[in-house]
Amino acid sequence: MLNERLTRMREKYFNSRPCITAERLVLATEAYKKYAGDPAPIFRGEVTRYVLSRMTTLIMEDELIVGTPTNKYRGANLFPEYQSSDWYISDIDEFPVRDTDPYDIAPEDRAQILETLNSYWRGRAIEDLAADMLPEEVETARQLDIISVGLRNGASGETMPNHEKFLKVGLRGFMEECRENIRTAGGGSIEKQRQINFWKACIIVCEGLINYAHRMADEAERQAAACDDPVRRGELLTIAGNCRVVPENPPRNFHQALQMIWFIQNTFHIEVCTTACGFGRFDQYMGPFYAKDLAEGRITREKALELLECFYLKCCEVYEVRDKWYAKSFAGYPMWEILMVGGQTPQGEDATNDLSYLCLDAAAEMQTTQPVLAVRVWDGTPEPLIRKGVEMIQAGMANPGFFNDKAAIPMTLGKGCTIEEARNWAIVGCIQPGPGGGATDGSPDAGYVNAPKVLDITLHNGVDPATGRQVGLKTGKAEDFHSIEELTEAVKKQLIYFYGLIKTGYDMMQPIHAINYPVIFAGMATKGCVESGRSVQEGGAKYSTAGMFITGAANLADSLVAIEECVFRDHDVSMTDLVAALDKNFQGEERLRQLLINKPPKFGNDNKHVDKVYEDMLAYIADTVQQWPDARGGHYSFSNLSQTVNVSHGEACGATPDGRLAGEAFCDNASPTMGRDIKGPTATVKSVASMHQERFHDGALFNLRFDPQGVAGEKGKDIIEGVIRTYFDNGGEHIQINVVDDETLKKAQKTPEKYKGLMVRVAGYMAYFTELDKAAQDSIIYRTAHLKEA
C-alpha cells in the first residue's frame, strides 16, 4: 500500500503532461557563445557547468529525492547541438498535439525557444551536418526506411554509469584522479594535450554539479525556513544536508546514496539528449547502504521503501525529445532506465539481497513505467525472488522482465571481457548485456535494417519497388533464381550490403561527435574514460560496442520458407506471378495470399525447418557484423530487437511472400509474426529460444502475452514460472510478459481517460498503453494472446 505522500505524488504525476522548456537551451546557448574557441572538451564542460550553475533549483512538495533536468516538473530539454533546429522549429506547434509522445510548451518557452534556435542554432546540429556528409546511398536507404542510422540525430546515450565508483569516491575523488592524471601526463604531445583537456573538462563539470547541489541545499534551507510544518521542515533540512554531502563526497547512508545516484542520472539529461541510461545492478551497489542503515537502526524497511519510491518517481521525470519518426518508433516516452536485481556476483555466488526484494516491492506499489525492473535468473537464484516477479506479472503489471545468466554471460564474454566482468553483466540499452561495473558504452543504436524490405528489393534485382530506384545490389532477377539456396544467398548479400551502409553512416557520424560535441560527464561516468583521458565517443570506455538491429526477422524467415515451398518445391505459383502479386499488394490474388499464409509453416510453432531458416539467417548477419570494428575502435554487436520500429518499417514495406499486406506492421522484436504462431505459447517459446541467441552479443527481445483468465490463481503462477524457466533452459536471454486481455486493451483504446495507469511492455520498455498511437496499440492487441477459449 502506497503511503499518503506517495499517493499524492503519484496522483500528481498521472494528472500532468510532460513539457518542453527553454531554460537549458537559453543558458547553454549563452555558454556556447561565451566559450566559443575553447578546445571542444573544455568548451563542452564549460557549457554544462554554466547551465548547472544557473539553472532553477526546483524542489517540489513532498519530495525526498531532489533534482530536475529542467526548471519545470516533467520538463524536457532540447539539444540543438545534436538534433536539427529545423524540425524543432517546424514541429513546435505540433509537439503538444502529436499522436505519440506529445509535449506541452508554454507560450513564453515557445517564444524563447524559437528566438534562440533561429538566432543561433540553425544548421549547427550534427543532424544538419549529417545530411551533407553522409554518402547518397546511405541517405537514400535511410529516407526509404530500408535502414536507420544512429548518431544522426541522437547522441551517445546507452550508458551504464559506474555507480560503484561514484558511491565510493564522490565527485571529489574523480576530480582528484583527474588532477593527478594531468600532473602525471604533463603535456608535450598532441595526444597528451587532448587527454589533459578531457580531464580538465571532467573537473569543470564536477564543479558545476557540486555547485548545483549546493544551490539545491540553499533552496531546501530557504523552503525550510518558510515552512510551518515541523515534519516537512525536518525533511527539507535533511535534503539540504544530503545535498551538501553528495555528490561532492561519498554518501553516508541509504538516503544520501539514492540522492547521489539521482544527481548522476539527472546530469546525464542536462548534458546531452540521453536515450537509455540504465542503473545497472542497483541492488548490488545500493544493498550495502541499506543493510548498514538497517543494522545500525537508522532506517526501517518502510522508510527505505518510501525513499525508493520517491526515487522511482524521479525516474519518470526525464525525457528525450524525439522527432516524429523516433516518437513513433520508440512510442510511449521510453527512457530504458533499467534497474537490475538478482543474479550472481563476479565470483559466481548468488547476489540476491534484501534490497532486491524491496526494489520489486516498490515497483509493485508504484506501477510507473520507469524504472524498468529486470530480474537476473541463474541456478542459484532464490525461488522467492522469481516468484515475486511472477506474481507481479500475473497481476498485470508487465514488470519485471526476466533475464537468463546462462545466455547473457556467453553474450557478454563475446564482447571480450573477463569471466568476472561477464558474471557482473548488466543491461546497456534495453536488453543488451554488457560487461558490468559501468565498463561499457553501448553507444546508441547503430541502426536497424528493414529485413522484409530487403527481401522485396532482392526480388526486384536491387530496385526499390516503391520508387523504382536502384538502391541495392544487382543480385539477379527474381525469375532467374532456380532454388531457395540461390535466393537466400542473394538476400544475405543484400542484407550485409545494407548493414554495411549503416556502418558507413555510423562510422562517419562517430568522429563528428567525438570532435564537435564529446560528452564529458557521461564519459567520466564510464569506466575507462578517466583512465584513458578520452570521451566515450573517442573509444574511452573500457568496452565500446554499437548495436546493429533488425526489423521483421520472422517475416523474412516466413517469406523465404513460403517461397521455398510454394515456388520451388510445389510449384503452386511461379516466381514471376508471385512478384507480380506482391507488387499489386495481392489485389485480386487473395487465394494465393491465403495459400502463402496457411500452407507453409511459420516461425513460432516449434517447427524445426522454419526455425532453422530463421536461425541461419540471423547467425549469418550476427557473425558478419560482429567482426566489424567501429570508428572508435569498438565493435558492432548484433541484437534481435526492433523496438517499435517494426511499425514504421512495416509502413514502408510492400506486401511480403508470407502473406503480409503492404504497410502492415512486422513481427514484434524476436517474436513470431502476430497471429502466425497458432500452436500456443509453448511452441512460441521453443521457437524463439531455438535461435542460438548466445551468438548475438546484444541479445534477443521476446514479448509474450497471456490472457489473464488462463493464468489465474496459484496454478497460473506455476504456469508463468514454468514458461520462463523452460525458455531459459532452451537458451533464451530475455522474456517479458504482458498479462492483459483484448477486451481491456480495446476498452482502453476507446476510453483512454479510464485506463491511464494501464502499463504494457512495448519493446524493451514499458509504456502506458493509452500513450501509444493507434498503430502501436494495435500491434499489441494483435500480439497473439495465448490461452483464450478455443
Partner 1 sequence: MEETNALVGAIQKFSVEDGPGIRTTVFLKGCPLACRWCHNPELIDPAQQLIQMPNSCIHCGACIWVCPKEAVYADTEGRIQIHWDRCDRCLQCTESCYAEALQPVAQRMTVSRVMEEVVQDKGFYEHTGGGMTISGGELLMHPDFVRGLLAAAGEEGIGVCLDTSGQGDSGLLAEAAAMEHVTDILYDIKAVDSGLHEALTGVGSQLIQANLKRLCETEAVRRKIMVRMPLIHGLNDSSQAIGEVIDIMKARGLTRATLLPYHDLGVGKKTRIGGVQEMFSPPPAERMDAIVQAMEEAGIEISVLGQRR
Q: Minimum Å distance from CB 690 to partner 1?
A: 11
Phi, psi of 757 (to 5 degrees): -95, 5
Q: Minimum Å distance from CB 682 to partner 1?
A: 5
Nearest Cα to 735, choosing from 424, 416, 386, 422?
A: 386
Nearest Cα to 618, choosing from 642, 584, 648, 652?
A: 642
Residue with cell 522467492: 384
Nearest Cα to 112, choosing from 230, 16, 192, 28?
A: 28
232 SS3 class:
helix
Q: Which is nearer to partner 1, 629 or 710 (CB)?
A: 710
Q: Which is nearer to partner 1, 93 or 590 (CB)?
A: 590
Q: Minimum Å distance from CB 781 to partner 1?
A: 18
Beta bridge pairs of residue 767: 760
Beta bridge pairs of residue 637: 547
CA distance 261 to 282: 10
**DSSP state letter for 424:** T
Report the amino acid identity of residue 45.
G
Rg over CA atoms, the chain? 26
Q: Give Cβ neighbours of residue 261 (< 8 Å, ≥ 6 apart).
A: 163, 166, 167, 279, 286, 311
Q: Which is nearer to partner 1, 472 or 681 (CB)?
A: 681
Q: Which is nearer to partner 1, 114 or 597 (CB)?
A: 597
Beta-strand pair 766-768/759-761: antiparallel
Q: Which is nearer to partner 1, 413 or 674 (CB)?
A: 674
Q: Minimum Å distance from CB 722 to partner 1?
A: 4
> For the range 617-620, what are the long-range contacts, defined as Cβ-Cβ under 8 Å and sequence gap of 24 or more?
617/488, 617/491, 617/492, 617/495, 617/553, 617/556, 617/557, 617/560, 618/550, 618/553, 618/691, 618/696, 619/691, 619/692, 619/695, 620/492
Q: Do residues 552 and 666 touch, judged by C-beta distance below 8 A?
A: yes
Q: Which is nearer to partner 1, 243 or 573 (CB)?
A: 573
CA distance 65 to 59: 9
Q: Which is nearer to partner 1, 599 or 746 (CB)?
A: 599
Q: Minimum Å distance from CB 716 to partner 1?
A: 8
Q: Minimum Å distance from CB 675 to partner 1?
A: 12
Q: Which is nearer to partner 1, 498 or 586 (CB)?
A: 586
Report the amino acid identity of residue 744.
T
Phi, psi of 628 (to 5 degrees): -85, 130
Q: Minimum Å distance from CB 679 to partner 1?
A: 6
List C-alpha distances in Å: 785 to 79, 283, 740. Answer: 40, 33, 8
Q: Minimum Å distance from CB 660 to partner 1?
A: 16
Q: Which is nearer to partner 1, 400 or 716 (CB)?
A: 716
Q: Which is nearer to partner 1, 591 or 750 (CB)?
A: 591
Residue with cell 498503453: 769
Q: Minimum Å distance from CB 759 to partner 1?
A: 25
Q: Do residues 63 and 110 touch, judged by C-beta distance below 8 A?
A: no
How many other C-beta atoms lie within 10 A of the C-beta of residue 569? 12
CA distance 752 to 612: 42
Q: Minimum Å distance from CB 270 to partner 1?
A: 47
Q: Minimum Å distance from CB 601 to partner 1?
A: 13
Q: Minimum Å distance from CB 790 to partner 1?
A: 7
Q: Minimum Å distance from CB 606 to partner 1?
A: 5
The site for partner 1 (CB under 8 A) is made up of 590-592, 594-595, 598-599, 606, 679-683, 686, 709-713, 715, 718-719, 721-723, 725-726, 729-730, 786-787, 789-790
Q: Which is nearer to partner 1, 345 or 726 (CB)?
A: 726
Q: Give Cβ neighbours of residue 188 (< 8 Å, ≥ 6 apart).
A: none
Q: Which is nearer to partner 1, 47 or 592 (CB)?
A: 592
Q: Do residues 141 and 463 touch, judged by C-beta distance below 8 A?
A: no
**DSSP state letter for 379:** T
What totals of helices (H) and strands (E) does the chain contain, helices first?
A: 31, 20
Q: Minimum Å distance from CB 220 to partner 1?
A: 52
Q: Which is nearer to partner 1, 258 or 573 (CB)?
A: 573
Residue with cell 574557441: 37
Q: Which is nearer to partner 1, 224 or 685 (CB)?
A: 685
Nearest Cα to 59, choosing from 306, 242, 304?
A: 242
**DSSP state letter for 585:** T
